[in-house]
Amino acid sequence: MDVLLLSRLQFAMTTFVHFIFVPLTLGLSLLVAYMELKFVRSGDETYRRMAKFWGKLFLINFALGAVTGIALEFQFGTNWSRYSAYVGDIFGSLLAIEATLAFFLESTFLGVWIFGWNKLSPKMHNAAIWLVALAANLSAFWIIMANGWMQNPVGYVFGDGRAELGSFMSLISNEFAWHQFIHVLSASYVLSGFFVLGISAYHIAKGSNVDFFKKSFRIAAPFTLIFAIVVVVQGHSHGATVAKYQPEKLAAMESHWETRTQAPQYLLVIPDPSNQRNRLELFPIPGGLSMLAYHDFNAEVKGLNDFPREDHPPVMTTFLSFRTMVALGFLFPILAVWVWFKRKTPEDSPLLLRILPWIIPLPYIAVQLGWIVAEMGRQPWIVYGMMRTSEAVSPGITTAQVAGSLAGFMAIYGLLVALCVFLLSKYGRKGPAPAPAVQE
Amino acid sequence: MLETTWFLLWGILWAVYFALDGYDLGLGMNMPFLAQGETDKRIIYNAAGPFWDGNQVWLVTAGGVTFAAFPATYAVLFSSLYTPLLLLLFALIFRGVSYEFRRKVDSDSWRKFWDGCNVLGSFLPALLFGVAFANIFMGIPLNAQQINEGNLLTLLNPYGLAGGVLFVVMFSMHGSLWLAVKSSGELEKRATNLARKMWGAVLTMVVLFLALSVLYTNLFDNYMNNPALFIVLVLPVTGLILTRKYLDNGEQWKAWASSAVGIIGVTLFGIIGLFPKLLPSTIDPAYSMTIANSASSTLTLQIMLGVALTFVPLVIAYQTWVHIRFGHKITQEDLEYEEAY
């Protein structure tokens, strides 16, 4: 084990754990803000209780998302100092802008929202959570612009032995990054939607707080359906941007070895990366891959064998993650349509109610797999085509240091994930606080 | 000029971070000395409640700005201070989570665990920031490849440790003053008394730290070359004197604000002495990280300056509003509030 490998493991682990907490905060903040808006407009106490109940689950996630996010910022400097020095001009400025524009707003007004129920007017209080939701999503925008630049570097010039900013406009109009942003955002909304649906279904099935949870269910249903469709449709065109800008990644996602026109899409493939071929290819759709990648049945799709071996991403991981993510991605709209039809009377469909709580983990798995495709599929590059991951690692740090910190992260993050699951299921099961007694 | 502006902004961001997170870190580490029972503890948690999260973002921003404006320094600084920074991070993680989790399970051992996390997670960052910044003022053994030849023990030199103790006592006083603002009765009295004691300790440490700075650092060179700069020392001195004055008059808000000015003054004193270096090398001054060899491109600095000049005043405005809006004394009603910590 060397510093490079340990640093990669550490970064991978801390990113995954960070992204267990983040997607829920992106979508749930919007849903909570909307619930509270309904309270402000209608005066219906149920909506206020809804905002508080779902808000509590949101807060548990937010705290963990925020503290685990700082770990990532630190690691660019501690473990990837060559990377930081080389691209800080561009990448660092996006992170700094994120903190200044978004993270301040989010963290400050979250405090206001938590402590302001009795201190602010209902409208002001609702404005606080809207600011939090807006800032959370704005935060995601800047972070994904930064990641999108690592995927498809644009707007830079080489100067002074590093990448320098050439055009800020090209940086934030990066086609690849925008696709990624919409994809990640809509996937996060789907995750948040199924989270609310799953917990609501659990309570409706149990017959506890039925009115409360039916209202929650009804708010989450269209939200989930819309974004489950968006994520699939847009995911397809995101795939096309991968084909355009990162052909090796596309080839690895599909385990596609030989360059050819009219490339078929095989429904069943068993890759054999060590022999640079597939062990098994079954059920071809003629021209399917050409069509999916380039919107043309006859297009040429480059195979991995036409790329230098040292530029190949890890094929097996990328391929399996991609396939599984896509399979899950198709499951969600189907479920969401079913949910949509039952949104007014979910209690009439015990089967749906029984299934939904078990669905909660699946979008989590899908988003993690998506990040594996994006990040592992980009290897061996840290900045695609520009800087290799192996060139990015800090000189002067020792294996013992990184092994120590990795052990620390594993212990601490393990504890945090366990606590998060424990608290979410404790408070999710417990249900909302009872409605206050009617004033005499 | 642009680089110099960013150097100053960089210093100001760190100074504001210390002035803000300083009081909630202080609240945490004072807890064992001030809290007599569960109610006191909850008052201490809730005194930081609406603010600590927003305060901590100043750290993220100060770190982010180091990365963006001086990437080469960010790279060398963070990889050189690998172990202390990760310890700091772990401490901050536990502290942050302790706020959110402490009241989520009704059990004494659960609360005790998170109290421990909060106390340690407040004390360690205060100490480590002090040690880190003293070492930055003094310099670390950077070689020609700009790799640190020292280790954790190199950082724990007398000057570094003095910096650590200085930060601990400054934050402890700052936290006591905020608790005096937010509490009443016995707890308020205990907080005021601790602040008085700490005031003496801060005064002693400031004098000692300045004296050691003459011995261990070149911070005074800039001041000797340009004596007008000594005016910067007015900030910490006035801050410290006014803290005492307002403390004796029972004007807690003003005492706390003066202490904030003091912290900002102490930090800026060091930062200005450092200029134009960001991280000196003790092996050879030529190996130092400076604004000249680590600043970002002009375009990046310009764009970020636009962002900073627009949004930082806005942040200061809304955070000030939050401090005023939630700066009242905590009452029984606040503790019964459903969302209270």
Q: Could you read off the pLDDT of B303-333 as tens digits, one per residue?
A: 999 999 999 999 999 999 999 999 999 988 8
Q: How far is CA B229 from the centre of its chain?
A: 23
Supply A317's token pair: 């991981």
Q: What is the pLDDT of residue A438?
A: 53
Instruction: Give residues with Cβ within 8 angstroms of B36, minimum separation 6.
Output: B186
The 10 Å Cβ neighbour count of residue B306 is: 11
Q: Which residues of chain B have pLDDT under 70?
A: none
- Residue type at B329 in one-letter notation: K
Q: Does A167 have pLDDT greater than 60?
A: yes
CA distance B29 to B32: 7
The half-sphere exposure of A257 on its side-chain side, counting CA atoms within 13 A, is: 15
Average pLDDT, chain A: 92
Q: What is the pLDDT of residue A1?
A: 61
Q: Does A398 have pLDDT greater than 80?
A: yes
Between chain A and chain B, the number of residue pairs with CB atoms below 8 A apart is 233
**Alpha-carbon torsion, ordered A37, A42, A44, A46, to 10 deg:** -30
Q: Does A440 have pLDDT greater than 60?
A: no
CA distance A434 to A346: 22
Q: How far is CA A308 from the centre of its chain?
A: 31
Q: How far is CA B206 from the centre of its chain?
A: 15
What residues in B contact A160, CB-CB < 8 Å?
297
What residues in A contact B107, CB-CB < 8 Å?
none
Supply B201's token pair: 């300790």
**Alpha-carbon torsion, ordered A71, A73, A77, A78, to 10 deg:** 0
Rounded to an integer, the average pLDDT of A210-220 is 93
Q: Tell me whether strands A387-388 and A381-383 are parallel, antiparallel or unpaired.
A: antiparallel
Longest CA–CA separation in chain B, Å: 61
Q: Does A411 have pLDDT greater than 80?
A: yes
> Residue B296: which of A60, A88, A116 has the nearest Cβ?
A88
Phi, psi of A163 (to 5 degrees): -85, 125
Q: What is the pLDDT of residue A435?
A: 73
Is the distance from CB of A316 to CB of A271 less than 8 angstroms? yes
Chain segment A42-93, per-residue pLDDT in tens: 999 999 999 999 999 999 889 888 889 899 999 999 999 999 999 999 999 9
Q: Does A137 have pLDDT greater than 50?
A: yes
Instruction: Give residues with Cβ within 8 angstroms of B242, minimum separation 6.
Output: B254, B255, B258, B261
Instruction: Give residues with Cβ within 8 angstroms of B288, minimum separation 6.
Output: B139, B142, B277, B279, B280, B281
Which of B143, B153, B158, B146 minimizes the C-alpha distance to B283?
B143
DSSP A91: I
Instruction: Tell which wins on pLDDT, A434 or A113.
Output: A113
Phi, psi of B149 (to 5 degrees): -95, -5
Region for residue A287 given its phi and psi (left: phi exceeds 0; alpha: psi -120 to 50; beta: otherwise):
left
Alpha helices for A276-314 (secondary structure H): 288-294
Supply B175's token pair: 């936290």
* Residue in A closest to B325 by C-alpha: A119
When scoring A45, A61, A78 by the number of chain B Cβ atoms within 10 A, the one with the most, hence best to mutate, is: A78
User: Could A104 and B78 be called an inter-chain contact, meaning their C-beta atoms sit closer than 8 Å?
Assistant: no
Rounded to an integer, the average pLDDT of A94-117 is 94
Which of A429, A416, A437, A419 minimizes the C-alpha distance to A18?
A416
What residues in B contact A88, CB-CB < 8 Å?
67-68, 70-72, 74-75, 296
> Residue B101: which of A105, A117, A419 has the nearest Cβ?
A419
Supply B33's token pair: 């000395």
pTM: 0.93
Rounded to an integer, the average pLDDT of A30-34 is 96
